[in-house]
Amino acid sequence: MTKLQITFTVTEFCLHTGVTEAELSEVVGLGVIEPRDPGAADWLFDDAALAAFNRAQRLQRELALDWPGIAVTLTLLEEIEQLRKENSQLRHRLERFIAQQ
């Protein structure tokens, strides 16, 4: 079964989220979200971009940060998640190594 892919035009995305087109351009430029085809003349956004934007908006409200601050925050959160995964993998390897001794 194929998953139905929902897409939003810039206008639809702005109407759905309450963001202006200028803010959307800034958010995309900062790498907070990405259109499906960044090089296309008319951007389309999928539901993953919408979810990422909603998370960014929540952070913006909770932390009272501007969009550049949100971009940095999201980058740091992604790095933390990656480090947690790596730490978990290393911990499992260590447990296996100790068990073999």
Q: What percent of the chain has pLDDT over 90?
A: 85
Nearest-10 crossing angle of helices 67-100, 47-63: 100
Longest dimension (CA), the chain: 62
Give start and end residues of each alpha helix (H) in the chain.
Answer: 10-17, 21-29, 47-63, 67-100
Q: What is the mean pLDDT of residues 60-79?
A: 93
Give the model confidence (pLDDT) of 30-61 as tens digits.
999 999 998 898 999 999 999 999 999 999 99
CATH 3.30.420.40 describes domain 7-71: no
Collapsing DSSP to helix, strand or coil, 45 comes out as strand
Q: Which residue has the tokens 């068990």?
A: 99
- Alpha-carbon Rg for the chain, nearest whole angstrom, is 18
Give the model confidence (pLDDT) of 14-27 as tens digits.
999 999 999 999 99
